[in-house]
Structure 1
């Protein structure tokens, strides 16, 4: 037991050390977290100093607390949360002050005010900040002094802290999360290319059922990668809203366009269909080898085109990648025509082979058409871009 606990502690320590090293080496999630922590600290100190200088009869904790929690991962989220939180704090402070002044006893006021504020906090327009109303009410009742002046100062402190938090987040290295989009898109493309490669290699000869099952299971994991990619795109788009840096920075590689996302989703869907067809036909793979062997060359070509497409999506060597993509797409179209001619002119070995060749040709047509359509439309989305470069 002690050995296992020690191993977990060592593994955690090693993970922390790797995170520190990545934060030191260059841009990434770890460095973003360090910057966010430093900005939140700066906002809290500034809010504390401003509140102590401008306001006398206030809870010293209120302004820095609000500023600290409002330095969020995007400027847009900071502004949205600032509105929600300050309104919740103002409501909680006013209700608690009124209850304490009427009832005279803080415990009795807590029994009546806190349930009401907790219920109000579930109102959808408060979002995740509804709990701030009950928290501010608790701070007010626990303070021991209640008056309209004190309540006004505490509400002003909340607004002051919110303003400082939003300003620090917007003016000091405002976050833009495009590297996560490029990493997620590159991961989807690499996995699709990897599936194409192993399937193409396997189809050069008779394949086993176990191989086909592994191909199918690997293709079934693609929707999870695509969900992560779409989430990263939405996060990156949010990070450019209300961001004062979005116009000043160069914009060669912004968030992916919707056409690019649909292209990758359709390619993943076609790969799932292809691996499903092969898994169903694996029982007669020896007899079907003559049908599937020509398919291997076509899949190699699709993999090369998808690799070039991925370079245009992530903004890597955009001009060279576009030329490479155009060349490989022409090869894919030619390979598809050649595949049709080869399969149509080959003598088939029964109804199962006819069914398999028809299914493979159908999946080949879908793959080729989707990739060609996406290459001529969606590839330009990423290269043109609409957001700042990766930080």
Structure 2
């Protein structure tokens, strides 16, 4: 008998997922905003307050703060425009058109962002009533109530830190790259048809879509670390994950080029194996070590515990050393083969160059250098963007010393 699943129970089990958390938090905040607006507003149904809270409450505290500021800004600007037009011309078809045009243009100048249409909506709603001033004040008040409730809700009930989903997405991407390399390690043996080689090429191209999804998860994680009181080393976590994903993205691009090279070899050798048996054995071993290197690299950049990170780094160093050793063996075998049978020698050279590029991107010292450079760059940008905050931090450090 098939198991019957309760949608509510399923929702509870998935409460840590971003979409589920956003749904629950937005609903609660909107209801609270409506109750508060019923007490403070003169309107019988102050729906602008829950609407604002619904828009303002985001999955991260940083997004909530920026969204609330843009939303209030858009409503206030629209109300001011409506008051100005109503006092001069009143409501007609041409004044309505001028109001909408002015609202959309001014909304761009005041940097309302995605709430530019909200400027025009607020202006039209206020312009279309008889008691302009009273309606305008009510709309501003309800908007402020919704924004404040939404902001306080995320301050008191801080949204989760979405680092773990981003880490899992990165590990999933690395797992798919590892699987592709393992498939290549099997296909280099014996004869490989063009269709089989092309399938690996299409699989490598599908990694582009995976990278887009991982990037979205990482952006959400980066936002959740900003202004979050739960996080002490937010910048370090953001930089480690971002630079790690950049490395995997470069490796994925080179891996796609590598599969294209193997596909070209398959087209040129339709009646014979891709490689001689000893070369195929060396390449197979090399691809296995490369797949383990990518897996170890993903574990390294997503490990939150120092012991796990050290173990992953040691594993990565071992696999990279083994990969370089296998690469040297394959290079000598390919060179001997080219000297004896110089067909498609350029594809052999391209294959080695692509392998070298992937191994170089995964190199531990290069990763450390890139990490330090990115931390320095972001720290410098923060100091230049917020000089007063930087001075205050300096004085606090001096006071503690």
Same fold judged by TM-score > 0.5?
yes
Structure 2 partner of 1:324: 315
Change (3 A) 1:273 1:38: closer
- Is residue 74 of structure 1 aligned with residue 65 of structure 2? no
The question of whether the paired residues in 2 share the 8 Å contact of 1:253 and 1:314 is answered with no
Aligned residue for 1:97, secondary structure, equals helix
Counterpart pick for 1:295 among 256, 280, 283: 283
Q: Does 1:261 align with 2:245?
A: yes
- Structure 2 partner of 1:236: 221
Asked if structure 1 preserves the Cα contact closer than 8 Å seen for 2:78 and 2:123, the reply is yes
Q: Give the equivalent residue in structure 2 for 1:277.
A: 261
- Measured after TM superposition, the shift of residue 134 of structure 1 is 1.9
Shift of 1:376: 5.4
Tell me by how many angstroms 1:195 deviates.
1.3
Match of 2:359 among 359, 368, 371: 368
TM-score (norm 2): 0.78
**Alignment partner, residue 73 of structure 2:** 87
Map 1:133-152 → 2, pairs under 5 A: 133-147=119-133, 150-152=135-137
Q: Quote how far apart the aligned CAs of 1:380 are.
A: 8.1
The secondary structure found in structure 2 opposite 1:144 is: coil
Q: Deviations over 1:9-65 (max 9, x none)?
A: xxxxx9xx6976653324543xx3333233223323333333343444797233332
Give a deviation string over 1:103-133, Cα, whole Å, max 9, x none.
Answer: 4557775454334324444557111111212
Q: In 2, Cα distance between the equivalents of 1:214 and 1:266?
A: 21
- 1:153: Cα distance to partner? 4.3
Is 2:159 the counterpart of 1:174?
yes
Q: 2:49 aligned to 63, 66, 71, which one? A: 63
Deviation at 1:236, TM superposition (A): 1.5
Tell me if structure 2 keeps the 8 A contact 1:85–1:130. Answer: no
Partner secondary structure for residue 352 of structure 1: coil
Question: Deviation at 1:348?
Answer: 4.4
Change (3 A) 1:18 1:123: farther
Q: Distance in 1 between matches of 2:356 and 2:366?
A: 15
Q: Deviations over 1:184-228 (max 9, x none)?
A: 212221121111111110102121111111111111222222233
Secondary structure at the aligned position of 1:351 is classed as coil
Q: Tell me which residue corresponds to 2:186.
A: 201
Q: Which residue of 76, 96, 115 maps to 2:82?
A: 96
| 1:34 match | 20
The farther-off stretch of 18-27 and 133-142 is: 18-27
Q: Name which structure has the greater RCO, CA cutoff 8 Å, separation 6+.
A: 1
Comparing 103-112 and 359-368, the one that deviates more: 103-112
Q: Cα gap change, 1:319/1:24 in structure 2, threshold over 3 Å: closer, same or farther?
A: farther
Greater shift in the superposed pair: 78-87 or 251-260: 251-260
How far off its partner does 1:237 sit? 1.0
Q: Is the contact between residue 338 and residue 345 of structure 2 (CA under 8 Å) also seen in structure 1? A: no
Are the equivalent residues in 2 in contact too, given 1:257–1:378 (CA < 8 A)? no
Q: What is the aligned partner in structure 1 of residue 381 from structure 2?
A: none
Matched residues in 2 for 1:250 and 1:230: separation?
17
Are residues 1:220 and 2:220 paired?
A: no
Report what 1:8 is aligned to.
Answer: none
What's the TM-score once normalised by structure 1's chain length?
0.79
Residue 132 of structure 2 aligns to a residue whose secondary structure is coil
Aligned to 1:174, the other structure's residue is in SS state: coil
Superposed CA offset, 1:152-200 (max 9, x none): 3432332232111111123213243223322321222112111111111
The CA distance in 1 between the partners of 2:213 and 2:369, in whole Å, is: 19
Gaps of 5+ in 1: 1-13, 387-391
